[in-house]
Amino acid sequence: MAKVSPARGMRDHLPAALRRRRYVFSLVEEVFQLFGYEPLETPALERIEVLQGKYGAETEKLGFKILKRGAGAETGQCDMGLRYDLTVPLARFIASHPELAMPFRRYQIAPVWRAERPQRGRYREFYQCDVDSIGSASLSADAECVVVADLALKALGFDDYDVVINHRQLLRAIADAAGVADREHELLIAIDKLDKIGREGVSAELESRGFPAEAVSSLWDVLGSAESDETAEDAMARLEQILPEPGPKAIAELRQLLVHVDALGGDLESVRFDPVLARGADYYTGPVFEIQLRGGGMGSLGGGGRYDGLIGLLGGRDLPAVGVSLGIERILVLMEEREMFPELPGVAEVYVAAIADEAINHALHVAGLFRSAGVPTVASDSALRVKKVFKHAERVGAKFVVMIGTDEVASAEVSVKRLSDGKQWRLPFTDAVQVVLED
């Protein structure tokens, strides 16, 4: 017998969980729209050549590929894949629409798929909430991404996180200073794990990859002591002095980004510089940012950065681009654990129940009156005992129970009960509708 549970790393979303999810989406969407981003949708499937060569070899191992139809499937040929994120599909969309006026600002809230090992807050199918600005090379666009992410998290009720910033060109200069400019990508893969495995772990990984001991030592010399209490500005000033270009230019851009964050009304107390923040994807070219909980305990709550070369790589105009994505699944897990959700009742406001067989059609009629007045209503399709009426009403989240029995049929009335305080009425059909509308 076939298993009926979802595939590993996939989930069914029950109504109560889906209400919480949609509540989060609605608050995030309000922030996105506040900054003038417009919605966009792209397909779940992309051609395999669009997806490959954009994320890096390590990351692309996690992509879901789709076999060709027909004879191609027998030989294991793939021509499509499920989207890994929303950024590459956006870049493909921009490349295929040269008529779009720039800058183009969009948001998208949609599922993506990765063949990762499922764990707390990490699934194989999950939603991303992205905003992106295409066609603007100004660092104010980068700063706006930082502020949008910050405000979205504040709207959800979070206050214990940092938006950590860095610059990919600064990392390039660090690789050059360590004498491994030709192996920058491998270096980034290793130091991106610094918060998980520490300096000793990163050193061990670099040595296992064949990095010379002097290069590893030079890396830590450049980054400074792990126990150092230097401020972010002190770290920037020191790196500006000791790094070759493009390091000083990258530092200058980060300073300008912070000026823009302040001008946009962003919370500079929530922004922190970290010279080893890399972000995983290969397509980043400039400032990068990641949202991290203070005290750790979970991976990032979001991140993004500038990816100026990606659209040109897909055959479109060589356009500047920057974006940020919220890790909505981890956000939902934390909000659930911290009991941050308000009471979110079900869709139905009224439950109409027949408590006698001859009242069933009357109950259906009364339910129709409520719906005609715009009141979401559920009606029983069979006669119920009174105890079961209230269980059903609770299950659908109704605020009012309307009961119709033999006496109500004879008098063309209904019994109405408001569940919040137990108040009851006996009213003609149309008056019952008015009582609910006025509540």
DSSP annotation of 318 = -
Q: Per residue in 320-355, pLDDT tens?
A: 999 999 999 999 999 999 999 998 888 899 999 999
Q: What is the pLDDT of residue 289?
A: 95
For residue 1, the model assigns a pLDDT of: 59
β-strands 78-82, 287-293: how paired? unpaired
Is residue 199 within 8 A of residue 267, CB to CB? The reply is no
Kindly report the backbone phi and psi dihedral angles of residue 138, in degrees, each rounded to the nearest multiple of 5, phi listed first.
-70, 140
Query: Distance between the two ends of the chain, CA-based, in angstroms?
Result: 51
Looking at residues 81-110, what average pLDDT do you find? Answer: 95
pTM given for the model: 0.88
The Cα 96–Cα 290 span in angstroms is: 29
Residue 293 pLDDT: 93
Task: Look at residue 158 and tell me whether its pLDDT is greater than 80.
Answer: yes
| Whether the predicted pLDDT of 193 surpasses 90 | no
Mean pLDDT confidence for 185-197: 86
pLDDT digits (tens, 9 = 90+) for 246-291: 999 999 999 999 999 999 999 999 999 999 998 877 889 999 999 9
Residue 292: is its pLDDT beyond 90?
yes
Q: Which of 134, 132, 130, 143 is nearest to 102 (CA)?
A: 134
Q: What are phi and psi of 163, to 5 degrees?
A: -95, 105
DSSP string, 376-413: -EEE-SS---HHHHHHHHHHHT-SEEEEE-HHHHHHTE
Residue 277 gets which letter from DSSP?
-
Residue-range domains of the chain with CATH: 15-175+243-337 (3.30.930.10), 350-438 (3.40.50.800)
Other Cβ atoms less than 10 A from the Cβ of 427: the count is 16
Query: What's the chain's length in residues?
Result: 439
Spatial separation of the C-alpha atoms in residues 404 and 292, rounded to whole Å: 55
- Write the single-letter amino acid at 398: A
What pLDDT is recorded for position 319?
Answer: 95
Asked if 305 contacts 283 with a C-beta cutoff of 8 angstroms, the reply is: no
pLDDT tens figures, 384-399: 888 899 999 988 889 9
- Answer yes or no: is pLDDT of 164 > 90: yes
Judge contact between 280 and 56, C-beta under 8 A: yes
Residue 229: pLDDT band by 50, 70, 90 thresholds? Answer: confident
Q: Residues 364-368: what's their mean pLDDT?
A: 94
CA 124/CA 116 separation, integer angstroms = 6
Binned at pLDDT 50, 70 and 90, residue 148 comes out as very high
What are the structure tokens assigned to 59, written together?
Answer: 């990351």
> Cα(397)–Cα(368) distance, rounded to whole angstroms?
19
What does the alpha-carbon distance between residue 402 and residue 379 come to, in Å, rounded to a whole number?
9
Place of tokens 């061990």: 204
pLDDT grade for 72, boundaries at 50, 70 and 90: low
Rounded Cα gap, residues 96 and 85, in angstroms:
18
Percentage of residues in the chain having pLDDT higher than 90: 73
pLDDT at 91: 95
Chain mean pLDDT for the chain: 92
Q: Shortest CA distance to 92 belongs to which of 33, 37, 134, 153?
A: 134
Q: Is the pLDDT of residue 117 over 70?
A: yes
Q: Could you give the percent of the chain with pLDDT greater than 70?
A: 98
pLDDT at site 60: 78
pLDDT digits (tens, 9 = 90+) for 23-66: 999 999 999 999 999 999 999 999 999 998 888 776 778 899 99
- Highest mean pLDDT among 28-37, 207-216, 228-237 belongs to 28-37
What average pLDDT does the segment 204-213 reach? 93
- 187 and 178 Cβ atoms separated by less than 8 Å: yes
Residues 6 or more apart in contact with residue 228 via CB below 8 angstroms: none
C-alpha distances (whole Å) from 347 to each of 35, 75, 276, 313, 358 are 30, 49, 47, 46, 28
**Which pLDDT score, from 0 to 100, does residue 52 have?**
87
Hunting for tokens 């823009």 — which residue is that?
A: 260
Cα atoms in the 13 Å half-sphere on the side-chain side of 195:
18
Q: Inform me whether the pLDDT recorded for 191 exceeds 90.
A: no
Residue 226's pLDDT band (cuts 50, 70, 90):
low
E strand segments, 170-240: none
